[in-house]
Amino acid sequence: QQQVKQSPQSLIVQKGGISIINCAYENTAFDYFPWYQQFPGKGPALLIAIRPDVSEKKEGRFTISFNKSAKQFSLHIMDSQPGDSATYFCAASWAAGNKLTFGGGTRVLVKP
């Protein structure tokens, strides 16, 4: 059972544009929602994370929007740069288990 669904699988954006990646979850016990960035051949790196008590969190050009009632959260990459070209994964976990359940990933290509 896939508990975190991520879309789209890939997207192409022009330099300076906005990249938007969406995730939906099923388990209402989830209370921690991180986003990871992965470059080819490397391990994922934590980018930004949010908890359900806030609806939005911003760090630099990266923003997470969270909709608890819809059980959805999204990553917005503002002013996208070629260096942002990578695969992005959303994930979710709950405090008790500490296990992360990952979405399927989105490959982002930023064209110069």
Binding-site ranges for other proteins (CB under 8 A): 6, 9, 32, 34, 36, 41-46, 49, 89, 93, 95, 98-105, 107
What is the number of residues in the chain?
112
- Give least dist CB 51 to other proteins, A: 9
What's the CA gap between 51 and 83, in Å, rounded? 27
Q: What's the distance, CA 67 to chain centroid?
A: 13
What's the CA gap between 17 and 20, in Å, rounded? 10
Q: Output 3 or 81, the one with its CB closest to other proteins.
A: 3
- Closest to 54 in 3D by CA, of 44, 45, 64: 64
- Give least dist CB 52 to other proteins, A: 12
- Give least dist CB 16 to other proteins, A: 27
- Report cis status (omega within 30 of 0) of the bond before 8: yes
Q: What's the distance, CA 88 to chain centroid?
A: 6
